[in-house]
Amino acid sequence: MNLGIARELTENPRLNLPTLAEHLPWTAENIRLLMAGRGVPPRERHRKEEGDPPVCKPSEQLRDLLADWHQVLDDEKKARAAVDEAIADDLRANPALTNAEMATHVPWAEEQVRLIARAHNVPRRRKRGPEHKLIEDKGRPKSVVVPYDWYIQQPGADPSIVKR
């Protein structure tokens, strides 16, 4: 891809970066940074007294490279979606499996596994003691009432509510 852009810029010295950026998924500044150190001559800004800015017609090679790049991106998105679905299926199939345990087998952190599970509607597995009371609203969990003794033992409990 970078070689195609470099070829376009080298062959057409009047072609400026903003004009080329209209045909690419990057800004003119990104293209400038991509071309740094590749032997591409620096570009001057278009001056109004020179007339209309040049019209860019990408070469066949650049269009082919862009199409290949977009195909690779689409394939990557499909593969990522398939992996996410497989993670969600594993979490559904193994209710005892935690997000942290799953994270040890995939290249993502526990939080990313949790986000994948939420996106795929994997049921949550909360560990509640038998003394916890689940309050439901229209058949869906709404809140949990916990015993006072259990609550004040939790890290981060508000110290102002502790009985003295």
Q: Which residues pair with 133 in a beta bridge?
A: 145
Note the pLDDT of residue 163: 63
Q: CA end-to-end span of the chain, whole Å?
A: 70
User: By the 8 A CB rule, do 59 and 8 touch?
Assistant: yes
Q: What percent of the chain has pLDDT over 90?
A: 22
On whether the pTM is more than 0.85, the answer is: no
Q: Which helix (H) or strand (E) holds 136?
A: strand 133-137
Q: What type of residue sits at position 58?
A: P
Which residues, at least 6 apart from 132, have a Cβ–Cβ distance to it below 8 Å?
144, 145, 146, 147, 150
More confident residue, 124 or 55: 124
Residue-range domain boundaries for the chain? 2-43+54-58, 73-119, 126-164
* Residue position matching structure tokens 């986000």: 115
State how far the Cα of 91 lies from the Cα of 113, in Å rounded to an integer: 10
C-alpha distances in Å from residue 94, one per residue of 84, 100, 102, 111, 115: 16, 13, 10, 18, 17
User: By the 8 A CB rule, do 28 and 65 touch?
Assistant: no
Q: Which helix (H) or strand (E) holds 34?
A: helix 28-35
State how far the Cα of 1 lies from the Cα of 13, in Å rounded to an integer: 19
**pLDDT tens figures, 59-72:** 888 888 888 988 99
State how far the Cα of 103 lies from the Cα of 1, in Å rounded to an integer: 34
Q: What is the mean pLDDT of the chain?
A: 79
**pLDDT tens figures, 119-159:** 998 888 655 556 666 677 887 767 767 676 777 777 777 77
**39 Rama class: left (phi>0) / alpha (psi -120 to 50) / beta:** left
**pLDDT tens figures, 72-123:** 999 999 999 999 999 999 999 987 788 888 999 999 998 999 999 999 988 8
